[in-house]
Structure 1
Amino acid sequence: VLVLQAAWALAGGQVRYSVPEEAKAGTVVGRLAQDVGLEAGEAEALRLVAQGRRASVEVSGASGALLVSSRLDREELCGKSAPCALRLEVLLERPLRVFHVELEVTDINDNAPVFRVSEEALNIAESSLPGSRFPLEGATDADIGVNAQLSYTLSPSEHFSLDHQGNNDQSASLGLILTKSLDRETMPVHRLVLTASDGGRPSLTGTMELLISLLISVLDANDNAPQFNQSVYKVKVLEGSELGTLLVTLSATDPDEGINSDIIDMKYEIDTVVPPSASDLFSIDENSGDIKLKGTLDFEAVNLYDINIKATDKGTPSLSGHCKVVLEVLDVNDNAPEVWVTSLSVPVAEDASVGTVVALLSVSDRDSGANGRVRCWVWPASPFGLEATFSGSYSLVLREALDRERVSEYEVEVRAEDGGAPALRARRGLRVPVSDVNDNAPAFAQAVYTVLARENNA
């Protein structure tokens, strides 16, 4: 199998590769042993250590090449995060050496846009005026970047057109615009097809059928759906906020008269939540429009929610208006650093040279920003120290000469502290025995011995 991508860079034992998701097992990602400058025969001793995520790659003992070993699905590994980088460490034991590998899994357009439902029914009053806008729920695409940039088209219609406001982000708003007056007697039902296309090459599409039923206006009256004062509400809230926290109060109005516009009796409800698994996290007061928290928010799990809201009046027939609440979850320092020992090369010979690598460690913090920035140190500092070799990776190295006859074993503690306020801390203890070498010649207790002996003493 051909090599997909040569190393981007090699500096200080760090090498970077790129491979597209869904590459077949056995695909050669890079000539690792060659790229890090190993001698012939050393490749067989390479050992791969993955940090955090399933690696899905392996090192060939025969050639020292980095190979795809199992399915690489960028969406499964990283979700919407970009870039999707797997951090790997490749070790050689005795003497302990580490090579850091960053493997970027690039996106391919393997996910088509998906609508939540295959058919959406809209009830529109026959007397609705041209220019009226009726909100629609858009599609989602699991890919990222241009592969997830969605555009929409509507099947030909002389009565309706499509309105797509905003960029292709969480605040974009999709709606159906009435362009020509309706006549229920001529056409009581309109069937339209809404198509979402992504920006991949080739483009993938998803469709949803719109079933539009026209309602007869009786007496006056209910020919105006409730209108929210904003089509999109943006709200920010700290993760871990208490249950019952008020997130936002929504308000809709209706230009009709009487019961058709009775704001007091207007009913608010949550239509959909994205992701769907978060449906139980939020509640809305159907009378006041207050949206409150009824579950626990975790920034590290999901940091952005789309809550689609519907307001329904009491007219006959009732009409509904829609808006979207984009809820951003803010990080708080609720995760302490974590320290792992990746490799430990003990015992250490007492004649080991200064700079010898004794252990490899990985440090991480699930928080973001300052809350996730970690500083590390060794206690007690002598005779060992820490050297940062890569982001989140450290080597425990010898800073001073050892003497087993003076100290035969060290208890070392690696301590980590994040940048939150207050800071959270972690520690990991290591036992480092010192092995003896023949560095001491035999020694007499004194340089000269004087012995008295009688002559002729048998």
Structure 2
Amino acid sequence: MEAQPTMNCFATLLLLSAFVYTASAVTHYSIPEEMEVGSVVANLAADLGIDVQTLGKRKIRLDILANKKYLDVNKDTGDLFILERIDREYLCISKTVCYLKMEVILENPVRIFNIELEILDINDNAPHFRRDTINLDISESTAAGERFSLSNAVDPDIGSNSIKGYHLSDSANFDIEIQTGRDGSKFADLILKKSLDREEQAIHNLILTAVDGGVPARSGTASIIVRVLDTNDNAPQFDKDSYTINLTENAPIGSLVVKLNASDKDEGTNSDLLYSYSLYTSEKTQQTFSLNPNNGEIRVKELINYEDFRIYDMEIIATDKGANSLTGKCKVKILITDMNDNHPEISIRSVTSPVKEDVAVNTVIAVVSVSDKDSGENGQVDIHISADLPFALKESSDNYYELLVSEPLDREKLPEYDITITVTDRGNPPLSDNETITLELLDVNDNVPQFPQTFYTIPVMENNAPGASLSSITAVDPDLHENQYLVYFIIEKEIANTSMSMLFSINPENGNLYALKTFDYEIEKDFLFHIEARDSGVPPLSSNVTVHIIIMDQNDNTPLIVSPWRAQGSEVKETIPRSTDKGTLIAKVIAIDSDSVHNSRITYQFLQNTDATLFSLDQYNGEIRTMRMFSYRDSRDQRLVVIAKDNGEPALSATVTIKLSTVETALKTYTEVPLEYDIFSDLNLYLVIGLGSVSFLLLITILVTIVLKCQKAKPSKAAPPSRNSVISERNSTIADSTLVSNDAYWYSLFLAETRKGKLVVRQPVPKGARYIVSSIPRSTGLTETSDSAASTLQASTTTSSSST
């Protein structure tokens, strides 16, 4: 059904008004507010006498005048139903009767029906006060029956649903009276039933409740706070009506005698009090004692003497500051008690200070006299000093005492004593006096210098710069001045005809220790000497400490390859048969390093290997062995370059070049000298023999070193070794080892390797000599027993001694 605009509708109605029948009757309906949306009000078609079947053709519609559309007509059934919730309080503000006027319009033919819908009120709103809290200030002097207007409550509902009455919470002082206005509204007045007393209750909290007449009834509350205003209706009162105070004579001026306390139950200025003497208080009393007008404190104003005046009477008035001031009174009696008011006196004479710390026990330090002007027990005195001091008091005559030294004194423990002498009489309470004597002790040289340690171990890296600081070795002396000034010395000690003062130097003032030369770990391992600290006292005292200098090794020595021997810069040539079996020992590289154990650990590696599949090198013992048998493809000449590297940081190394030549035939047997060779296939046997040899040589070296240190070595010419001795040595198999001593003599170990045996020759070399190691090269042409068959070790010295 197509809707027509409202303006066009009204225009059509005006033009056709002469031809339209208009009903003069008004249809009236009544509904309560807040009906649910969709609720049916009435069957409009039946009430208006309209056929329901024609509603759709006649285009029925509903217009609500001057309001939003709250209702509508069901065109199928003709029912008038709620389209939107209706709130009477919103629709008809401040109206007791609420109507909603509507027009029902039909077309074909046009008819208009007037409908009046009355909206009935329901109790959907609770009363509420415009202010939740009502504050009232009421003076406690207000008479009973006084009225106080209260803020009324409002309820948007009407009729019986509006406010019906008020209720007040229980109160002994207040009640309410309900008033009705011209418009029927109700409000309450607060009535004072009973006079108020602020001192009993300063604030009254009341609850005012407004109740409407709906079913069920609704209510709202407001809080009434009544503050009671004070009036000056209470006089000040003291804690007690009379006070009796005991006061000793000679009480200090300004000391508190008593603090009077008066209170007033009123508040504000009505409770502010002022204290004053009454006319019954004598002038003498007012001159002797002062009264604070604000807090009631009575204090001593003049010196009080028991012998002059013993009792003081006074009357005190407390007055409030109210408009009509009120007063309160009390009496005070002050009793003066006698006391021990004369202090004992002490006088110190003949003080001896300062004294030396080694002063003898029982020496008199001072003479003390005491006195007291009192009599009886008040005039008897006792004298004492602190018990923890090394002094004592000895009575010499009446009221005279001697101050003595009772224990040995030590300035280093306590350089100064404050001796407090206290004298106390026997009065009640006792009085006392004290004097302090300051006794200063003079130092004597009674303490030897003390080193913090009894033994110093100082590590020094070799190759140090001459003059380098090694450490600071200082002692302490608790004495003073010249007795404390220390001088440091190195106690002379010769090592190998060398004085310690040539090796080390110490600063005599601060104990800084310096090295005077560069040390070499391979020559000198450590030094042991003493340092003395001597004070400047008379006589001087001293002490010493042991210093152990340990030379630390640096990796400053390059490994020296001693086997296989070679001329400087030359290659080592070896000849081996091509029929050599797999695992055969071809050569053994031996290097020595004169550094410490850590820096002298040698490892071996190939720098160059003609055929990496043919030879292997043991990195720890330097043995070069065949990894397989030679084949016809292998070159006849093999060149091996081996590097020996130590374990230092950074590592140092040396290299040797071994040139191997292979031949088809085996080496010619050396027959002219009947040598017997032991062929060892067991590696463990080699190791056992090698360890035994090294141990034996080490023991011999230590014994020789001890002998050389104990007695001066005599130069002697070593006899050349005979062939027989060399040959006999060849009959014993000694493991590869090298022993080099850094003591008075260098020992060099010569190894001459043959294919199946080893020849060892050891010769001493004088100190300072350079050594040359030579070995017998392996050769197939060795057929005769000649001097060339024996290895030689030559030593040439800078002196005129002959070569051995």
Smaller-chain TM-score range? Answer: 0.3 to 0.5
Structure having greater relative contact order (Cα 8 Å, sep ≥ 6) = 1
Give the TM-score, by structure 1 length: 0.44
Which has the greater radius of gyration? 2
